[in-house]
Structure 1
């Protein structure tokens, strides 16, 4: 399996999203190239033409950058409003340069970072009256989750389950991300879930310090 090829489970999800593996690997490569273009020229990357149809569909997408296991940037959208290729390119550049949690990525550093492009399904509203009911309906390892209460909102991609496999901890950390107390619940809480498939482009300088 190549470094940009998804796992067997991810391949099944990709099939459900209508994205063949080779198209997903192309998406990840183009997202990485978009960052390099912006860092090298200071200009927005051009949108490639004559791409496979799945990359031209309107889709939501996130892009994340990692140095080993350490997050270096993650940005994206939960609602698809642009062709997937445009959204992936835009999210990748924002993850590198506009994530407020991190300093901008340099061109040299980019060659040491892993890029992951995650394609999302449309969010599904979950009508739940309590955290206990949410825990019953949550699908660990599969669901991305959106919590919103008033002006506070946060999401975790399904990939976060790898670091927070226990459902109560998953929800507690997501609440904290939204600026809510771990035990918080209110009648106004809105919950939605989605699934995603992730394609990864490994850094060309693997093993470099």
Structure 2
């Protein structure tokens, strides 16, 4: 996926070859003190995301509304359910869902998270970050969920009445490991991140049947010539579905 900004880039793949962007910078792409968040599209060019303070993200259509009071809701049992709750809360109030005070122990660790929203088999928004920035899984999921329906301009924004029939996937990034060759990647279980200078792209696990397809597609998405050498990284991520 082509990219122009020297600080932000990535692509993220969802089930139907939807690709979401990944942040690049120092080391494995993390700049000290910053937490990149990015959007994606199917086979297109990602644009760098601009940060917004929590609770002040732009609403669908760019309009601002007066938040309506809502009653506290019970904590969902899964991260996809939490993502759905966060989107519903945002649609109702225009505000980011407050992070739950009590969360399960396995949600307390920081990790990169991506949320993908689809409806009728079509992507309607992808958003997330490889860098947890110190946030636990619950907070990272809430932030990514709201971003998926408000900040990914490449898709027609999901409307409140469409949420019930939409599907939500949460991807938890486990590890990004430098590798010497494609022989260390099983594309059915592992993703591939490539980098050449300030350009790069990533495909997540299960989006390709062969490493050759992973590599050629990632180069095309990043705007890297087919014959140019690249750094290779194996991406290990867990994909969570609602049902």
Band of TM-score, shorter chain: 0.7 to 0.9
Aligned residue among 21, 44, 56 for 2:108: 56
Query: Of the candidates 140, 148, 151, which is equivalent to residue 98 of structure 1?
Result: 151
1:112 paired residue among 155, 158, 165: 165
Is 1:77 matched with 2:124?
no
User: 2:175 is paired with a residue of what secondary structure?
Assistant: coil
Match of 1:179 in 2: 223
Q: How far has the Cα of 1:194 moved from its partner?
A: 2.2
Name whichever structure is richer in helix by fraction: 1
The size of the alignment, in residue pairs, is 168
Task: Please report the TM-score for the alignment, with normalisation by the length of structure 1.
Answer: 0.73
TM-score (norm 2): 0.63
Q: 1:86 corresponds to which residue? A: 139
Q: Distance in 2 between matches of 1:94 and 1:53?
A: 25
Asked if 2 retains the 8 angstrom alpha-carbon contact of 1:31 and 1:88, the reply is yes
Partner of 1:140: 187
Unpaired stretches in structure 1, ≥5 consecutive residues: 1-22, 203-209
Q: What pairs up with 1:148-167 in 2 under 5 angstroms? A: 148-160=195-207, 164-167=208-211
CA positional deviation for 1:151: 2.0
Unaligned runs of 5+ in 2: 1-74
Structure 2 contact 192–214 (Cα < 8 Å) conserved = no
Match of 1:168 in 2: 212
Q: CA deviation at 1:191?
A: 2.1
Distance 1:151 1:139, change over 3 A: same
